[in-house]
Amino acid sequence: MLAEEYHNIRTQTERLCQPLKTEDYVPQPVEFTSPPKWHLAHTTWFFEEMILKSYFKGYTNFHDKYGFLFNSYYQHVGERTFRAHRGHMTRPTVEEIFEYRRYVDEHMQTLLNQSPASEVIELTILGLNHEQQHQELLLTDLKYTLSLNPLFPVYKQDFCLVDDQENKEGWISVNEGIYEIGHDGNGFCFDNERERHKVFVQDYSISSNLVTNREYMAFMNDGGYKKFELWHDEGWSWVQSEGIYHPLYWHFTDDQWFHFTLAGLQPINPDAALSHVSFYEASAFANWKALRLPTEFEWEIASDRFDWGRRWEWTNSAYLPYPGFAIAPGAVGEYNGKFMINQMVLRGGSRATANNHTRKTYRNFFHPHYQWQYSGVRLAK
């Protein structure tokens, strides 16, 4: 059954690539994105490097330089190529990378069908979750790359990101008290979701709805991007130095706001949930409403009482370790702890998130100025 899941998830990655032209696999326009080619190879490298090299007897690397080329931030596993230079890689070709995938997949299938050791099972599950993270990044990064093209290329005409939300206005109230936070141990979780622990929260209310484009346009029309008092000092600098005055991918054309989507340029739906705002924008908007963002604990505690999963939701929690968090030894241990500085937690998931990949204890995290995620806003008070 793990072999089957392996097959399904790996196949899904390639299914996501079906609409692509060869040229789409190559560019990396900014350092924080990666080209599809790299995502395809890097996720494969994980299985080769972390599993096959150690647990498949007599395994021969597909290519002796791929370890160097497709490592990401794992400092334990030799030098990595510069993160900023992934788009300069002409070779290996896309074709060769698909061969690489087939080669690794065949060996993985052999291994998984031979009553694998529990370590192999654990690492495979980790590798598949890692692959799912990169499925999301592949789409998110691709959107960024295509968005820069004046031809506004369509990834998939029917790539329908349903934006609408049922309108159940209203505030969900939660009483002060001690609550349990973090993963309960049933099923897979990342290291940053543990240890499960108690927190005390004060009385609070959290919105049952995400902020809509309509609400955000009201903020824009009220001069929200020009009122420094709504912004963090660094957010204000960002707005001014980058000339930000709308969410990412928005275009004002013919007296109307459009946004670029993976289905091409589309008019904004005012009732759809807002997306592609930075933490700074989320926070300024909340200030303008005289409300605030929830903490990640408030979000998690109330999460059974509202719909989520359409949009990553910025919280006002910094990404920090839970009590008892410990870094696993070796390369696998490099997973999450090293990023626990200068980033804010997002909870939820998005339409680009792989099925069954997220959960209410899942902690996503990004720098506060990033807009390229499907990131939205839920308010609290």
Residues that bind its own copies (CB under 8 A): 21-27, 29, 37, 65, 68-69, 73, 75-76, 81, 85, 87-94, 145-146, 148-151, 153, 176, 178, 197-200, 202, 228-229, 231-236, 279-280, 287, 316-318, 320-321, 323-324, 327, 333-334, 338-342, 344, 368
Count other Cβ atoms within 10 Å, centred on residue 88: 12
Using the minimum distance from each CB to its own copies, give the nearer residue, 232 or 359: 232
If the CB atoms of residues 154 and 161 are measured against its own copies, the closer one turns out to be 154
Residue from 259, 273, 343, 279 nearest 308 by CA = 273
CB of 320 to its own copies, least distance (A): 6
Alpha-carbon distance values, 231 to 177, 244, 284, 316, 377 (Å): 31, 13, 5, 14, 16
H or E segment to which residue 42 belongs? helix 36-47
Give least dist CB 232 to its own copies, A. Answer: 5
Q: Could you tell me the maximum CA-CA distance found in the chain, to the nearest angstrom?
A: 66
Cis-peptide into 166, omega within 30 deg: no
Q: CA–CA separation, 11 vs 16, rounded Å?
A: 9
Q: Shortest approach of its own copies to residue 55 CB, angstroms?
A: 23
Nearer of residues 68 and 109 to its own copies, judged by Cβ: 68
| Cβ-based neighbours of 219, under 8 Å, separated by 6 or more | 284, 285, 288
Instruction: Compute the radius of gyration of the chain from its Cα atoms.
Output: 21
At its nearest, how many Å lie between its own copies and the CB of residue 116?
A: 28
Q: Which residue, 228 or 258, has its beta carbon nearer to its own copies?
A: 228
Name the residue nearer to its own copies (CB basis): 79 or 166: 79
Q: How far out from the chain centre does Cα 150 lie? A: 26
Q: How far is the CB of 149 from its own copies (least distance, A)?
A: 6
Check if the beta carbon of residue 32 is closer than 8 Å to that of residue 370.
Answer: yes
Name the minimum Å distance from CB 355 to its own copies: 27
Tokens coding 199:
């927190």
Q: Which is nearer to its own copies, 9 or 302 (CB)?
A: 302
To its own copies, the closest distance from the beta carbon of 115 in angstroms equals 33
Sign (positive or negative) of CA dihedral 215, 265, 163, 254? positive
Specify the residue, 164 or 176, whose C-beta has the smaller distance to its own copies. Answer: 176
Between CA 270 and CA 124 the distance in angstroms is 42
Whether residue 116 has a cis bond before it, omega within 30° of 0: no
Q: Which is nearer to its own copies, 56 or 249 (CB)?
A: 249
Q: Which is it for strands 250-253 and 256-261: parallel, antiparallel or unpaired?
A: antiparallel
How many beta carbons lie within 10 A of that of residue 302, not counting itself? 24
- CB of 1 or CB of 290, closer to its own copies: 290
In angstroms, what is the minimal distance from the CB of 68 to its own copies?
6
Report the residue number, 187 or 329, with the smaller CB distance to its own copies: 329
**DSSP state, residue 92:** S
CA-CA distance, 308 to 67, in Å (whole number)?
A: 38
CB of 325 to its own copies, least distance (A): 9
Rounded distance, CA 163 to CA 249, Å?
Answer: 15
What's the closest the beta carbon of residue 26 comes to its own copies, in angstroms?
Answer: 4
57 contacts: CB under 8 Å, gap ≥ 6: none
